[in-house]
Amino acid sequence: MKIVFATGNAGKMKEIRMILADLNAEVLSMKEAGIDIDVVEDGVTFEENAIIKAKAVHACIPDAIVLADDSGLEVDYLDKQPGVYSARYMGEDTPYEIKNAAIIRKLVHAKEEERTARFVSVIAAALPDGRVLTTEGTIEGTIAHQAAGEGGFGYDPIFYVPEFRATTAELTAEQKNAVSHRGKALRAMKRKLAVYFEELEG
């Protein structure tokens, strides 16, 4: 069974490959599957956007399982912004050093307990039989006072996880995958796919 992951984000793809490595399936990026489409993510929730992406790519490769993740950072002090607009926040091509510095500045008057934030990931799976499965994962943290760490991608340098006393950019890939929103959502999806594979064989 082929599993195509509907993302062009190299950072995400690296995490996903690690987490799905033990599935008995060939995991391909869209590029590796020869699919080059731009999907308009016009949903207003992570779930809507994940389903939109999974279905759009599935239409190009109906025999495969197509997985898509929609994820983002919710900052409570900013009314849960950037949320579903995380990739597009301040412009898609704006470097994350600038986006991250802007978020830190916006929280300059926030009290410690007002700095709470979370990463959210919803994974959608479009199956060859037309069904769509979804799972969700979150990780709670706070917005750091300054960016730290070189790992991960996107908002990782400013997402502080009290449990590790570090930002997610300071964790190893293994540590991040073990606790991250995407890791949790993907492991939940792996469990759902295992049931689906059993149904196919049964």
Give me the active site residues, please.
70
**In the stretch 37-56, what mask flags binding to ligand IMP with x, by CB under 6 A?**
----x---------------
CA 170 to chain centre: 18
**C-beta closer to ligand IMP: residue 69 or 170:** 69
Q: Which residue is nearest to ligand IMP (CB)?
A: 154
- By CB under 6 A, tell whether 154 contacts ligand IMP: yes
Give the nearest distance from C-beta 159 to ligand IMP in angstroms. Answer: 7
Q: How many chain residues bind ligand IMP (CB under 6 A)?
A: 17
CA 159 from chain centre, in angstroms, equals: 14
Cα(55)–Cα(102) distance, rounded to whole angstroms? 34
User: In whole angstroms, what is the distance from residue 49 CA to residue 46 CA?
Assistant: 5
CA nearest neighbour of 85 among 72, 66, 95, 76: 72
Q: Per rule CB under 6 A, is residue 137 in the interface with ligand IMP?
A: no
Alpha helices in 26-164 (DSSP H): 46-58, 96-106
Residue ranges binding ligand IMP (CB under 6 A): 9, 41, 69-73, 86-87, 119, 152-156, 180, 182
